[in-house]
Each structure stands twice: as C-alpha cells, then as structure tokens.
Structure 1
C-alpha cells in the first residue's frame, strides 16, 4: 500500500481516508506526506459528504475497504459502490480499494469489488493473495492501470521486505494447479464454524449486555457494550486476572469513554474465549444493575 501511495500521489496531494481508525494506513499517509481528510464510509450520508468535499477541493484518491470496513466490519451497499465509481470517473480521482477478506463471505454471494464495475481505470484494487497462510496474506495482488503497474515494477525488491523464494515457488505451483482454491475453501469453512461457535458463546454468556450484527464478510465482529461501560477499564481488569486478551483498546482523549470493541476471530480459540466471556459476564453483572 505504501508503494501505491508513493507511485500515485505527490506530497501536496489530498487523499480521503475512510479508515481513520487504522493506525497502519494513517502511518503510511503521514510517511508519504499526503494531506488526509477523514470520512466514515459506513455513515448513511457518506456519499453526500464525499460529493460536498470534491466540489470544493481537488482530491487525488479515496482509500476504502468496501467489502469489510475498519473497524465496523460492514459492507458498502451496491448502490453506494456504483455511485462512488461514477463520482471517481466524473471528477477523475482514484479509488484505492483494499480487501484482505475476499475469501471469507457469509451470504449467498461474495461481495463484488469496485474493480468489477465499469470504472474506466479509476479503481486500484489491492488485496492479500490469500489468508490461507501468513506469508500469502502478506503477498499483495494489485489490479491497476498499466502505467501504475509499470511504476510499481521499478521499485527495488528490497522495498518488499523479507521474501522466501522456496515458499513462493510452492505458491506458484498452487496457483498453476488451482490447488489454492481448495485450501481457500477449507479455510472459509473453518472460519464459518468459528463464527457460529463465537456467536453462540457470546449470546449465551453476554447476550444481555452486548449487541452486534453478524458480518456479511470478514473475520471480525463490531460489538457494542452499554454506553456507561468503559472498555479500557474492563480490559485492564481482565488482563490483571490473567485472561488472554489480544485486543488493544486505548483512549484518544483521557476523558473519552470506549464502549465499542472489534473482536477478530481470525485466530479463534473457543476455550480461551469462553474463559474470558464468563469472567467478563461476572464483572458486568456487578457493574450494571
């Protein structure tokens, strides 16, 4: 993603970031010296907000995860996707679409990425090759205009970080023989089972305290706790009790109360999750009367 921004934007350019809560993408934009405007893509007035901005200011690109937003884990509806592509063509800005969750969809049909629309070359699609293995997740596939691809090819290999050529040779064989599709389907089936088990556990142990929508894709839940609950304090209590907590929740401002949690089940252990859920229920029962 860093290479894409550097190839596409000058330091004075402006990019709309629809994942302002993601520290990684924020770091990349800062490193490239790009001006950033933050918009939440899951808000009902997202398109109207975008239209108002592009009327008054020239932007180079919109960074977006339409398949599974961060951190809310929601899809962008088809009408909004279509309108977004039309705006990009009309005002000539790029849509930088990132998608690491294309293998994990839970509805009848997979999400149709922006790259499948008639975008006239204004969509740059960047995705993990696969989440079957950590190495494949770090291999990025890029679908973009030929000119940008040629610029990316000029970037020295050292910029891509560590490479394991023997593993890449095996991955190449998987692709040629269509074996990766089988492994991908197995991974999806395993995560679908994890989602079912997690949903049943949360409803049993914490159903009276939390609310969430089951995701249409991806491997995370966006969970809402009661507004008077401070999750930062709860997480510290759980950690001090010796519970295994992988989530990192911090306040932007000292007086800020956090009551939403993104729970990722990409690495799911039912036993550990059950222990935490039971302990959390006992804490909430004492605090919420």
Structure 2
C-alpha cells in the first residue's frame, strides 16, 4: 500500500483496531453490512455500539456484491465490514470480478469500509491476494491487520491503516481506551522485520501450515467425508466444514468431550438456519493430535 507512517495506528491486537475504527463511525441506529456468516466478535461489537446488522449472503466467491449495491441504492448504510481474504469463518476469498465491482460501489456511494485482513500472510497456493485498501478507493477503506497470527495468539499486536486525519483522530480515541501500547515490545517486533527474521519466519510457517493443512484435510476426509463437505482452504489456519443436516454438531461435541477432546458445539456459526457448520483449526496440531482427533470424530459419528 502506498502509505506513510502517519496513516498507521498500532493497536493491542486487531480486535482493538476494529473497535476503534467502528467507534469512530457508528452511532446508535447506524447500519452495518456484514456477511450472513461472519466473524462473531465483530458482529457483537457493532451491536454493542448500537448498530443494526444488515446481513448479506456469502457464497464460494465471497460476499454478494450485487446485494450490497441494492442496499446502497435504497439507503446508504453507515459501514461495510468485509473480510475479502480468507473470510471468517468460511475461508473463501472474494473473486476478482466482485472485487472490481465492490471498489466501484465504494467510490460511487462513498461507502465507509472496514477491511479485516487478519491472516494476510498465510496463503498457500500462490501469492496472497492484494487488499482492497491497496487499490484506488478515495480514502473510504480502513484496513485492519494482525501480527498475532504471525507470532502467537498471546502476542497482541494489530494495526489500523487509514487517512492521515482519520488515524490522528482514531489515536485520540485509542488514548481513552489504551493510553499507550507496549513500546519496547513493538520496537522488538519492528527489529525482527528490519533484520529479515520475520520474513524468514513467515516463509517457514507458511510451508509448515500448508503441510498441516494437507494432512488435516486428508484425515478429515477419511473420518467424515461421507457425512460432511469441505474444501481445502487456499489460505488461513482453519477448515470450514458443513455437516449433513441430520448430524448434530452439539451432540458430536458432547461425545468428543466424553473422550477428553474439546470441540466447539457450532453455536458460534448459527447465523442461517441452513448452516450446520463448524470451523476446524489445524495450525496448532501435530500429526499425532490430528490422528487422535480424526479417529475420535469418526467413532463419534
């Protein structure tokens, strides 16, 4: 992105970056376009700020851009929250045609956007897709990224990128919430980038996670391939899995718990009545753990 340091606000994790950006834009009664399956903590945040969610369908090509345009024609919403790269939870990526059209809509309707690109670096088949914020958007796209996925979940370091004036005002708001970040820690991470260590770490991580993705998907296919559908994710650290309607994810969760294995009961993703899905994370699992989980899942089915 063609930006200056004055356009970057460092935050204590990407969630804080989303919170600061949304708080700058939303008021009680505001409207926010989100995916009908979406990052649950973002939805909760917007509702906490008093906004009404307008849910738009997400399919294998990303969010329905035509539906966004129809909404804008009727009454321009206050904000669009979008995860175009490895959408959470479905892992799909917005296709090129929709990206071009969405950028036109953003400019034409002067639509404020929060682009959440939480795991940009972890793309396995080719180079990561360039963010919407890297294209011409007339200053309407706010970009959120994270270092936490790069190093470790407990390392809370994110950032918000926007226009210089917006970032200046956002910094004033952040000061009320979090006087300052951990400056020594931020300098340490910057040093890793400057020395090239972070880049080398990322290359090793992408290679490792790609291997784990392949192994996990093979085990998943052998364990539940007859009762569930999923695609090999092109990036990210999770597999979005849709079970046949007659298989209860809460019941599976209970059976696995009896074996000492924790699995979310799927309630996080009950956005649509036709969604019987769960997001399986694989990045932290070694081969033995994957095999143990796969066998337990198969027997629970």
Q: Smaller-chain TM-score range?
A: 0.7 to 0.9
- Preserved contact between residue 101 and residue 218 of structure 1 (Cα < 8 Å): yes
SS at match of 1:154: helix
Shift of 1:57: 1.0
2:185 is the alignment partner of 1:167: yes
176-185 or 162-171, which deviates more: 162-171
| Distance in 2 (alpha carbons) for counterparts of 1:137 and 1:38 | 32
1:18, distance to aligned residue in structure 2 (A): 2.0
CA contact (8 A) 1:14 1:61 kept: yes
Residue range with higher mean Cα deviation, 129-138 or 83-92: 129-138
> Does 2:29 align with 1:40?
no
Q: Give the match's secondary structure for 1:132.
A: helix
Is 1:69 aligned with 2:87? yes
Which residue matches 2:280?
263
Moved more, 168-177 or 34-43: 34-43
Greater Cα shift, 268-277 or 115-124? 268-277
Determine the structure 1 residue equivalent to 2:104: 86
Alpha-carbon distance between aligned partners in 2 of 1:225 and 1:252, rounded to the nearest angstrom: 12
Shift of 1:135: 6.2
Partner of 1:100: 118
What is the deviation of 1:86? 0.5
Give the root-mean-square deviation of aligned CA atoms.
2.5
Extract unaligned runs of 5+ from structure 2. Answer: 1-17
1:182 has 2:208 as partner:
no
Distance 1:247 1:162 in 2: 34
- Does the aligned pair in 1 maintain the 2:85–2:93 contact within 8 Å? yes
Instruction: Say if 1:6 and 1:252 are closer, same or farther in 2 by CA, change over 3 A.
Output: closer
Q: Secondary structure at the match of 1:277?
A: helix
Q: Higher relative CO (CA 8 A, sep ≥ 6), structure 1 or 2? A: 2
Structure 1 residues 29, 169: CA separation in 2 closer, same or farther (over 3 Å shift)? Answer: same
Describe the SS at the equivalent of 2:232: coil
1:51 to 50, 63, 69: 69
SS in 1 for 2:250: helix
**Of 153-162 and 73-82, the range deviating more from structure 2:** 153-162
Deviation, structure 1 residue 73: 0.9
Question: Given the superposition, is the C-alpha separation of residues 19 and 164 from structure 1 closer, same or farther in structure 2, using an over 3 Å criterion?
Answer: farther
Secondary structure at the aligned position of 1:262 is classed as strand
Q: Corresponding residue for 1:287?
A: none
Residues 255-279 of structure 1: per-residue CA shift (max 9 Å, x gap):
x786322111132233233222212
* Long gaps (5+) in structure 1: 285-289
Q: 1:19 touches 1:64 (CA, 8 Å); kept in 2? A: no
CA distance in 1: counterparts of 2:54 and 2:171, whole angstroms: 29
The one of 15, 22, 25 aligned to 2:39? 22
Taking the aligned partners of 2:268 and 2:21, their CA distance within structure 1 comes to: 31
1:142 aligned to 153, 160, 164, which one? 160
Structure 2 counterpart of 1:209, from 227, 231, 236: 227
Map 1:266-285 onto structure 2 (within 5 A): 266-284=283-301
Q: Deviations over 1:125-171 (max 9, x none)?
A: 11103523236863122221122111112135462489544322311
1:252 CA drift (Å): 8.6
Cα deviation code 1:207-231 (max 9, x no counterpart): 3333211112211111122221111
Deviations 1:40-83 (A, max 9, x none): 33377812211211111121221000001121110000110111
